[in-house]
Amino acid sequence: MKNVLAIVVAFVLIACAAVFIIYEDKDKDTEDNIGQYLNIQGEKIIQRYTFSYPTFSDFEEYTCVYVDEADFYDMHDGWPAIPVKTTTYEFPFRTKILDVIYEYSEPEAITLTKKISVGSCSTATGEDPNIYDEDTRFPPNFISYHTGGGLSNGTQKTFLTVRVNPITYRPTDYEIDFIEQAKVTITFEQPDYPLLENKDEYDLLIITVSNFKRPLQRLVNHKENMGIKTKLVTLNEIQDTNGRDTQEKMKYYIKESIENWGIEYVLLVGGIKGQTTKWNLPTRYSHVLISEGKQEVPEPKFICDLYFADIYDSEGNFSCWDTNDNNIFAEWDGSKEIDKMDLYPDVYLGRLPCRNKREVRIVVDKIIDYEKKKADDDWFKKMILVSGDHWKDPGQISEGVLIMEEASEIMSGFTPIKLYATEGNKLLVRNINKAINKGAGFAYFCGHGSATSWGIHYPPDATGWGPSLSRLGLITFYHTMYMNFLRNKNKLPITVVGGCFNGKFDLSIGNSLKRGKIKLAPASCWAWKLTSKKGGGAIATIANTGLGTHAMSDADQNNINDYLEVLDGWLELRFFQLYNQEKVDILGDLHSGAIKDYLHTFLCSRDEMDPKMVQQWQLFGDPSLKVGG
């Protein structure tokens, strides 16, 4: 029976489109093999790959190496662009991956005439000398893997992603080593019993503070009427829960709620207490440090609510994010992971960082009004696109416009409202407010930001800033104060914003003084101001709590700018793909689904930028929200 179950549940998900064949006979002649094939024997999986001989394309002082069967080209700041093949397996939750053994054909050395093309995420960085100037192989292994545990289409799973690099690079020798064939043998053990039985007592857990309990009761009643069984608890009610501090008590309570009640969605309601340094509902800070030069300024820590969503590792153990037990969470120093983190969401989680009961009442009213009836297509089937020229690059490419056009294609069926900073057009604040006031199902901003503003450059060489108050270009950036003029009432978009710090919701006068800055801090960060705006704004916003990062140029020379293919750009576009192409229509499923797919695709590379991308991608909104009402 166990063998039959293994065949049914241990199926393969290919991260990117590829042809694969399942063989009953593992010794079948490989001449029929197109790329790879799979053989499942009880609790063992044998995966074989065959790769075509590499081809090359020279440009400027570099060359690109292509392998037909590769899913994509791994591009990181300062690293060579290497072809990659990934395969992700989903197993019943708590399956133990006992062993991953890999073999490959004798590597063939191929001499290059130029260096392999280098990825770039900043105008300030070039080739990483630790790679290009060293007599070592990059990447160090032809095959690597990582495991995780999290939600997939609403069901808890154990994940295993295997990454095959058909070539590795020896920069100082100007050579690559190519493997034509590879074999990966995975031995696993399924659990004797499920950790998470089919409990269905509650769907949504709301964690808040005592002062907010009464105004949140209307939201509980609404959710119950919508068929979403909801449990509301306050911090006072969970103080007896296991945990070293309030944050860990919250996380353990979420764990107990999954196991005892079957909850899938968690909404945190609360944030900074007024303008003080204290929290009414605290967050956790991540300490993933980015290597010098990869981002504009050092960022020793940043807000990370993903901590509360990542409950388990792949075997069902508690994912504490402090495995060295020094009370500094999510430590990752450059390429070295100090604290082991699973990162996959085990619940669909969002936050409403309300400071007072007034904000609670506003967002509760907005959610109820949005969900109680289906949105009218006259306004919902519009998508506002706001961007321009992101980087000053030799090719004078308007990266922001490229990603907006790609998003427009993904969201086919939606009328694009294009607000671009172009050479012949000044992007104005009033244009943005006018578009939002007419209503739209989605809004997408992509550019630069701060905690209280968003902006973008003008082409051709990323000079000047938009939007501005007038065509003279005076008083630039879209600041939170301009959101006071939004009057779109119930025609509320789900907003995705690419930029730095737009989701930094720990703003207060007290925190400014603590950081040595004397200034009157606004009540809200950009994303929360837009979401909590009374009588308009957004129904939800997804934004970075820290320094956002997009790539630049086209390191793999595939005629698709890297801005679209890695880091923030990949995450943002994946969100829209899940909604319009894969028909996922619950907000938290969209947000967490994009994070899950990002981890499948990129985490094996061991670049510290990848955990940071998912950790700072914050959902301001109700994760159980039905998109479109």
Average pLDDT over residues 271-294: 91
Q: Choose from 110-124, 184-198, 430-444, 463-477 the range with maximum mean pLDDT.
A: 430-444
Q: Is the pLDDT of residue 354 over 90?
A: yes
Q: Taking residues 590-599, report their average pLDDT.
A: 98
Mark whether 99 and 55 lie in a shared domain.
yes
pLDDT value at 270 more than 60: yes
- Mean of pLDDT values over 89-114: 97
- Do 291 and 335 share a domain, yes or no? yes
Going by pLDDT thresholds of 50, 70 and 90, the confidence category of residue 287 is very high
Same domain, residue pair 203 and 80: no
pLDDT at site 190: 94
CA-wise closest residue to 608 among 85, 78, 170, 134: 78
Domain end call among 158, 189, 220? 189
What's the pLDDT score for residue 520?
60
Q: Is residue 469 part of a domain?
A: yes
What are the E-state strand segments in 414-509?
A: 415-420, 442-446, 448-449, 453-458, 463-466, 478-479, 494-498
- pLDDT tens digit string along 419-439? 999 998 899 999 999 999 999
Task: Indicate yes or no: pTM above 0.85.
Answer: yes
Phi, psi of 479, rounded to the nearest 5 degrees: -90, 160
Q: What is the pLDDT of residue 523?
A: 72
* Any domain includes 577: no
**pLDDT for the residue numbered 193:** 86
Confidence of residue 178 (pLDDT cuts 50, 70, 90): very high
Checking if the pLDDT of 186 tops 90, the result is yes
**Ramachandran assignment for 501, one of left (phi > 0), alpha (psi -120 to 50 degrees), beta (any other):** left
Structural domain includes residue 121: yes
291-309: per-residue pLDDT in tens? 877 887 889 999 999 999 9
User: Do residue 209 and residue 133 come from a single domain?
Assistant: no
The helix (H) or strand (E) run that includes residue 509 is helix 509-514
Q: Of 189, 215, 245, which closes a domain?
A: 189
602 shares a domain with 549: no
Domain boundary, last residue among 169, 189, 209: 189
- Nearest CA among 135, 168, 164 for reference residue 18: 164
**Mean pLDDT value across residues 411-422:** 97
Q: Are 417 and 517 in contact (CB under 8 A)?
A: no
At 24 the pLDDT is: 28
Q: Which of 432, 397, 373, 379 is nearest to 559 (CA)?
A: 397
Tell me the average pLDDT across 304-317.
Answer: 98
pLDDT, position 521 = 58
User: Which residue would you say has higher pLDDT here, 473 or 125?
Assistant: 473
pLDDT category at 166 given cuts 50, 70, 90 is: very high
Q: Which of 17-26, 119-128, 469-478 has the lowest mean pLDDT?
A: 17-26
Q: Does residue 389 fall inside a structural domain?
A: yes
195-244 tens-digit pLDDT:
887 789 999 999 999 999 999 999 999 999 999 999 999 999 999 999 99
Q: Which of 545, 73, 74 is nearest to 288 (CA)?
A: 545
Q: Worst-scoring range by mean pLDDT, 72-81, 188-197, 451-460, 492-501?
A: 188-197
Asked whether residue 579 is assigned to any structural domain, the reply reads no
Residue type present at position 43: E
For residues 520 and 603, membership in a common domain is answered with: no
Q: Has residue 162 got a pLDDT over 70?
A: yes
Reference 506, options 250, 298, 282; nearest CA is: 282
The reply to whether 295 falls in a domain is yes
Whether residue 463 is found in the same domain as residue 594: no
* CATH for 183: 2.60.40.3800
Instruction: Find the CATH number of the domain harbouring 501.
Output: 3.40.50.1460
Over pLDDT 70: what percentage of the chain? 93
Instruction: Please indicate, yes or no, whether residues 116 and 140 belong to a single structural domain of this protein.
Output: yes
Q: What is the mean pLDDT of residues 414-423?
A: 96
Can you read off the two tokens belonging to residue 181?
A: 């064939």
Give the per-residue pLDDT at 26: 32
User: Would you place residue 21 in the very low, low, confident or very high pLDDT band (cuts 50, 70, 90)?
Assistant: very low
Q: Where are the beta strands (DSSP E) in 70-174?
A: 72-74, 82-92, 96-104, 108-111, 115-116, 143-152, 155-164, 167-170
Looking at the predicted structure, is the pLDDT value of residue 25 above 50?
Answer: no
Q: pLDDT by residue (tens digit) across 357-407?
A: 999 999 999 999 999 999 999 999 999 999 999 998 888 999 999 999 999
Does 331 have pLDDT greater than 90?
A: yes
pLDDT band per the 50, 70, 90 thresholds, residue 9 = very low
The candidate with the shortest Cα–Cα distance to 307, out of 328, 289, 291, 326, is: 328
**pLDDT category, 573, cuts 50, 70, 90?**
very high
The per-residue pLDDT for 390 is 94
Burial of 125 (0-12, 13-18, 19+ CB in 10 A): middle
Domain that holds residue 471: 378-565
602 occurs within a structural domain: yes
Q: How many domains does the chain have?
A: 3
Mean pLDDT, the chain, whole residue set = 91
pLDDT at residue 36 in the model: 63
Q: How many CA atoms lie within 13 A of 536 on its CB side?
A: 15
CB-CB contact of 121 with 567 (8 Å): yes
pLDDT greater than 70 at residue 17: no
Cα-based torsion angle of the residue sequence 485, 487, 492, 493 in order, rounded to the nearest 10 degrees:
-40
CB 179 within 8 A of CB 166: yes
Residues 324 and 383 in one domain: no
Q: Are residues 354 and 231 in the same domain?
A: yes
Same domain, 415 and 289: no
Residues 408 and 555 grouped into a single domain? yes
Q: Does some domain include residue 573?
A: no
CATH label of the domain that carries residue 281? 3.40.50.10390
